[in-house]
A = this chain, B = another copy of it.
Amino acid sequence: MKMFSHKGGIMTNNSRQHEILDLLYKKGKVSVKEFSKTLYVSEMTIRRDLAEMEKQGYLKRYRGGAILKVDFREMPVTERFLLDANKKKRLCEQALPFLRDNITIFLDSSSTCLYIIPHLIKYKNITVVTNSIKALQNASSLHIPCILIGGEYYEQDMCLVGSLAEEYAKDLNIDISFMTTAAYSLDGTISDFDLRQTAIRKRVLKNSKQTVFLFEKNKLGKKLTYTLCRKSDENVTILIEK
């Protein structure tokens, strides 16, 4: 009974299982009943899917349903997480048209970029490059191949920065980078208050064919100490929360 191939560890050709994951990412936690009603299949079929997906590490079952497989200490399933989560999720949906098969993407250490990850399983042969431990763990839990940029650990942001990280990033060639910073001003300047984060983003940007910035509304109209780049720069795309 080979329901779907497992090439490269990525779930490539079972659309219902994709929908199960999408639903899970939308709600954090979904019951077998709800899956069954939403996807118009019997509960038994859902259970079979869940069993298989759990075995492959895509999610965690609990009696009655399934729950996202994330480190719950970092990301509580309830309340706060789910609140801004919806905003960020919607913002990230604007980034989807940039995704395609067979590319290497960079995700920075912002929490926003985490919401791109669940969509990646729909594509074949995507490699994630990141300096973020959370992005690493989330992507890897979906069996997406990951490359981590090393360096000094910056605990607060759970990411790697510093001259070592910049050095390491030099050798990596990225198709599309996804990033956020803390400020996007009216005149099109993208800036941040953190020197080291800006430095590594700058380095990655230089090595990326294309860079997509994702800004929530509260980042607009500000200009901070360190400039990363400008709206008008080559290969820079800006997406703003609607």
Contact = CB atoms under 8 A, between A and B. Distances in A.
Given A21-B72, A25-B76, A148-B160, A15 B153 contact: no
Interface string A129-171: 0000100110011010111111111010000100011011001
Interface stretch (A60-68, A117-125, A224-232, A233-241): A60-68
A18 B76 contact: yes
Given A29-B15, A62-B13, A76-B25, A151 B153 contact: no
Copies in the complex: 2
Interface residues of A, number: 46
Contacts of A146: 152-153
A84 interface: no
Given A12-B60, A22-B79, A168-B168, A148 B140 contact: no
A153 B136 contact: yes
> Chain A contact residues: over half helix, strand or loop, or mixed?
mixed
B145 A22 contact: no
A19 interface: yes
A95 interface: no
Given A21-B72, A22-B79, A78-B19, A62 B14 contact: yes
A160 B149 CA distance: 10
Contacts of A14: 62-63
A140 B168 contact: no
Contacts of A152: 145-147
